Structure 1
Amino acid sequence: MILPWTKLIPTAISLVEVAGSVLSSNQKEKARLAKINDFDMETLAKRIEVLESNELKQAELIKEMAQQNLILIKNAENNYKLAIIGFITALIAIVLLFILFVVKL
């Protein structure tokens, strides 16, 4: 089976975009929190909320990457099976050709 590159490439692009947005949001939030020197309960609660949000984004990104890997693995398995079938078919053809050549002599 041929790899569905038309489906994989847009998904890969969206994965890169999501990863970039997660990274930029982490950097922005880190810079904002670095400016705050006091650690009162409200600030800590906001930081925990940001961390939980980023964790959910990362989990979604990992899920999408795992789905892409699963598609690639299934396609690789199918290609392997096709290669084995082609190899066996070629061997049978060579043996039959040899037999026909010997019989004709």
Structure 2
Amino acid sequence: MPEFSWPDRSQVPASDAVDRIWPATVSALPLGSHVCGRVIGRQPFGVFLVLDGVPNAVGLAEITAMPHPMELPAVGATVTGEVIRHADRNRQVKIRLDEGNVSG
């Protein structure tokens, strides 16, 4: 498996579905919410996540919001973290990962 990969299209919700439920996603995941998700893509700047219990939501944990010296989790890993921002422009839930709480 390559070190970095974009999420497989089959794992990413359709953009129209993400757009349609964005207000509900923001409501369901207020700032400070604790979330759990699975890594579906890995890039030098962070990891993309599908979030448990929130269909059609895409999370992004950027390397700048990871505890130091945490390494990027592998694709397929289950991670936990805190919602720190809602990126309206690209409909992403920004996540700060919890230190040492990666499995898989």
Q: Please give the range of the TM-score, normalised by the shorter of the 2 chains.
A: under 0.3
Which structure shows the higher strand fraction? 2
Which structure shows the higher helix fraction? 1
Highest CA radius of gyration, 1 or 2?
A: 1
Which is bigger in relative contact order (C-alpha 8 A, separation at least 6)? Answer: 1
TM-score between the two structures when normalised by the length of structure 2? 0.21
TM-score between the two structures when normalised by the length of structure 1? 0.21
